[in-house]
Amino acid sequence: MFYVYILESEKSGRYYIGYSADPDRRLLEHNLGKVKSTRNYRPWVKVYAEELDTELQAVRREREIKSQKSRSYIAKLIGKDTSR
């Protein structure tokens, strides 16, 4: 199993989209500063995870989410009400 996950920075509200076979381990790596692109926005919390059967499906789904380039799309996906 692979997972597409979305993290939210508690510091800035920024989202990060990634995929992994172990999203909990990946979250720990993000929060320990081991991922250069997320290091300055720590701490992160996992706000969404979607299970997929193969790595290829996970890569494609990650790209699909990223291609939207939309905070409102992500907010809707994770169930956040943005109408306020």
Domain ranges of the chain: 2-78
- Answer for the pair 41, 9: CB distance below 8 angstroms, yes or no: yes
Whole-structure pTM value: 0.92
Architecture, CATH, for domain 2-78? 3-Layer(aba) Sandwich (3.40)
| Residue 84 CB-density burial (10 A; 0-12 exposed, 13-18 middle, 19+ buried) | exposed
Which pLDDT score is estimated for 47?
A: 97
pLDDT tens, N- to C-terminus, the chain (84 residues): 999 999 999 999 999 999 999 999 999 999 999 999 999 999 999 999 999 999 999 999 999 999 998 999 999 999 986 554
pLDDT at 49: 97
Question: What does the pLDDT read at residue 80?
Answer: 82
